[in-house]
Amino acid sequence: MQELESLKKELKDINKQAAKIRELAAEERAEFGKKINSRRQMVLEKIKEVERKLMDVEAEPIDVTAWSGVNEELPEFYSQELGSEHPLMSELERVLSIYQMMGFDIVEARQLDDERHMFDTLNFPKEHPARDGYDTFRTKEGFIPPAHTSTMQHRVLKKYRRQLEQNEKGQIAVVVPGRVFRNEDVDATHEHTFYQCEGVFVSRSCSMAQMLGILREFFEKYYEQKLNIRTQPGYFPFTEPSLEFMIEKPQGLGGKKGDYLEMLGCGMIHPNVLKMAGIDPSEYHGFAWGGGIDRLVMLRYGLSDVRDFESGNLRFLRAFN
């Protein structure tokens, strides 16, 4: 394995040197390119050879039923230490408990959905670029691993719309936690798989001011301190007007005065979305929001790499015990 890593590092160095060909005089480029290509080909062949050898090595089978509690000589992977809850799940429970205290019901999102709930019921035009298969994962059968928890918005509105008709103060107040999937280039701040929490609120008299008050209350409860908030215009087909909601980074958690961070998208539910769910937009108004759980947790614990959550790194996970 060490030999393979060394060869790959050498290949990177060769590629860096190859980029310097532009700096050479025209008469020197041919000879330089020939030498670089020859060296690259030699390293590539060595890499293939080492990879073949590694594949041919038969690993010693692991008896997953073995108990190491009374035998300290067994390898570490036999360890029977008590497991613990994933930090994202622990923090998600905290998030949901805050919303429940504020009077919201909980509806769990799906991990496989369809074109209709992903786009049509959310007022996405037929030509919207987000429908492109390069932006959204799809199965061979045409199903979609949801790219946002907003796929549940139509179902929530239909399921709870009778509550609106019960009396003058009838309302829909629901949050939707769920796992979402996006065709992202993975790096320290982007993952293809992460968690979101959607909020949906509908009543006869709700307003944007009420939405901002709910969101501010949530973040202050979660970070256990008073926070300044800020908004800026955004665009989402299913809300109008749409906003990007920011908070001033919490003090004591790496934040500095005047340093704001966008936490979620939000806005007043588009009349077309209400109509599709059988709710009269001339009589009722609504607002919705959606944001990542991973980002919440990273800010709370001063983490810098979102990939750690999905890495399976036991050292990282045990740090939360």
With cut-offs at 50, 70 and 90, classify the pLDDT of residue 63. Answer: low
User: Taking all residues of the chain, what is their mean pLDDT, rounded to a whole number?
Assistant: 84
**pLDDT the model gives residue 130:** 67
Indicate the residue type of 216: R
With cut-offs at 50, 70 and 90, classify the pLDDT of residue 56. Answer: low
* 87-318 carries CATH number 3.30.930.10: yes
With cut-offs at 50, 70 and 90, classify the pLDDT of residue 64. Answer: low
With cut-offs at 50, 70 and 90, classify the pLDDT of residue 78. Answer: very low
pLDDT (mean) for 35-50: 83
**pLDDT the model gives residue 195:** 92
pLDDT (mean) for 141-147: 87
**pLDDT the model gives residue 84:** 75
Q: Is the pLDDT of residue 76 over 60?
A: no
Indicate the residue type of 169: K
DSSP state of 187: B
CA distance 124 to 10: 48
**pLDDT the model gives residue 61:** 60
Closest CA to 298 of 217, 220, 188, 184: 188
Q: Write out the H or E segment, with its range, that includes residue 241.
A: strand 239-248
Angle (CA) 217-220-222 rounded to 5° is 105
Residue range 243-300, pLDDT digits in tens: 999 999 887 666 677 788 899 999 999 999 999 999 999 999 999 999 999 989 888 8
Closest CA to 171 of 213, 203, 198: 203
pLDDT: which is higher, 210 or 55:
210
With cut-offs at 50, 70 and 90, classify the pLDDT of residue 1. Answer: low
Is beta strand 172-181 parallel, antiparallel or unpaired with respect to 105-106? parallel
Closest CA to 292 of 186, 155, 178: 178
**pLDDT the model gives residue 65:** 60
Q: Is the pLDDT of residue 221 over 90?
A: yes
Domain residue limits, the chain: 2-56, 87-318
pLDDT: which is higher, 243 or 53:
243
DSSP state of 113: B
Find out whether 149 and 178 touch, Cβ atoms under 8 Å: yes
